[in-house]
């Protein structure tokens, strides 16, 4: 395939995911990813800052979606209710068409300590953004932090449910939130 053909980014992602699964993340180079995709390393770096970004690209849009949805949540909701409302639009990221990719991505991250640490840092940053949004809504700091951390835990459980079954993401999210409510009742 030549560089001029459309879909370069998708080809790079497909090549990287295949190589990460086959050889492992640490053993895969950018040069190998580009070669497998039929592209140059220079083209790779037009789309991704490094080989980790193949797995984490789009996380800014993910966080922005949650923060924007939190700001739009009805003020009548409790802190946890507002967080739950803010997480539901993530169903746009977690569609049936993306489930297989998410499963493969999750397996690659789970098998690499550095990637797992990065994933946890991204989730921690999401919790901080949620807590800041809750404080802007007038929620006291300790309540905001607790609701944000609980929301991220609910999200993680919902994600695991979503990749592990044929359940849609919103149902998985609501089920995980119900589990939290049962636990705290």
Rg for the chain, CA atoms, rounded: 18
CA distances from 116 to 26, 108, 119, 127, 128 (A): 13, 9, 5, 17, 18
Q: Please report the pLDDT score of residue 165 as a whole number.
A: 85
Burial class (CB in 10 A: 0-12, 13-18, 19+), 182: exposed
Domains of the chain: 8-54 (1.10.10.60), 58-184 (1.10.357.10)
Concatenating the DSSP letter of every residue in 34-87 gives HHHHT--HHHHHHH-SSTTHHHHTTHHHHHHHHHHHHHHS-TTS-HHHHHHHHH
Q: What's the CA gap between 127 and 131, in Å, rounded?
A: 6
pLDDT along the chain (185 residues), means of 10: 71 96 96 96 95 91 93 95 95 92 95 96 95 97 97 96 91 94 89
Q: List pLDDT tens digits, range 19-55.
A: 999 999 999 999 999 999 999 999 999 999 999 999 9
Q: Please report the pLDDT score of residue 58 as a whole number.
A: 83
- CA 177 to mean position of chain CA atoms: 18
The residue among 43, 33, 32 whose CA lies nearest residue 2 is: 43
Q: Please report the pLDDT score of residue 4 as a whole number.
A: 62
The widest CA-to-CA distance across the chain, in whole angstroms, is 59
Q: What's the CA gap between 77 and 69, in Å, rounded?
A: 13
């Amino acid at each position: 395939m030549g560089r001029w053909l459309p879909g370069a980014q998708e080809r790079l992602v497909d090549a990287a995911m295949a190589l990460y699964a086959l050889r492992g993340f640490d053993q895969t180079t950018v040069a190998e990813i580009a070669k497998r995709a039929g592209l140059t390393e220079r083209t790779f770096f037009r789309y991704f800052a490094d080989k980790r970004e193949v797995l984490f690209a789009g996380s800014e849009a993910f966080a922005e979606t949650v923060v924007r949805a939190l700001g739009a949540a009805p003020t009548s909701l409790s802190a946890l209710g507002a967080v739950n409302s803010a997480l539901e639009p993530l169903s746009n990221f977690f569609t049936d068409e993306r489930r297989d990719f998410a499963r493969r991505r999750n397996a690659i991250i789970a098998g690499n300590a550095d990637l797992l640490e990065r994933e946890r840092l991204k989730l921690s940053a999401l919790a901080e953004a949620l807590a800041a949004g809750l404080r802007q809504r007038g929620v006291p700091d300790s309540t905001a932090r607790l609701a944000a951390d609980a929301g991220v835990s609910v999200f993680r459980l919902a994600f695991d449910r979503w990749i592990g079954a044929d359940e849609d993401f919103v149902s998985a999210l609501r089920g995980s939130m119900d589990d939290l409510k049962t636990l705290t009742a």
